[in-house]
Amino acid sequence: MQVDSRTIETMRKAAAKAAKNAYAPYSRFPVGATVLTSHGEIFAGCNVENASYGLTICAERNAVFQAVAAGKPQIRAIVVVTSSDIPSSPCGACRQVLSEFGRDIEVISFSDRGKVLRAQVSDLLPKPFGHEDLATSSRSKGKAR
């Protein structure tokens, strides 16, 4: 079920506000994101970079983790806001994390110029690694590798 335009606008504004708090001294690419839970709650996140690049956290994962930390892992949608000319879709790591919480999560990305990209997680990551892959591993069957 698609999210209504009023909720999307509320999420967009909150994501833009979060982007202003981004810590992005290396990429100079601030990103804000908000997730909407099935209970109608909105959680925001921003990217937080680190001199050891691998320890950086994206805005999308930050927002998801905020929702999970609050005990609300049922995610319906995510809005991403960047200060770019074209909408930026979530990176591969963020797509994988989002798929953990639902393949039908609506992804709505906004550029600084008002352009919009809409998709579902299943469109962005058609064959994710998931819990069902773990169920077939030799480790889950009690066999040593």
Q: In 3-state terms, what secondary structure has residue 55?
A: helix
Does a structural domain hold residue 143? no
pLDDT tens, the chain, 145 aa long: 789 999 999 999 999 999 999 999 999 999 999 999 999 999 999 999 999 999 999 999 999 999 999 999 999 999 999 999 999 999 999 999 999 999 999 999 999 888 999 999 999 999 999 988 997 655 545 544 3
Question: Which residue intervals of the chain are DSSP H helices?
Answer: 5-19, 59-69, 92-101, 121-124, 131-135
Q: In 3-state terms, what secondary structure has residue 56?
A: coil
Q: Where are the beta strands (DSSP E) in 10-145?
A: 31-37, 42-46, 75-82, 106-110, 116-120
The CATH number that applies at residue 21 is 3.40.140.10
- Pick the catalytic residue: 41, 49, 60, 106? 60
pLDDT at 138: 58
Does a structural domain hold residue 24? yes
Q: How many domains does the chain have?
A: 1
pLDDT at 144: 45
β-bridge mates for residue 82, sequence order: 31
**Is 41 noted as a catalytic residue in this protein?**
no
Give the Cα separation of 129 and 63 in Å (integer). Answer: 21
β-sheet with 106-110: strand ranges across: 42-46, 31-37, 75-82, 106-110, 116-120
Q: Which domain holds residue 81?
A: 5-135
Give the Cα separation of 99 and 127 in Å (integer). Answer: 10
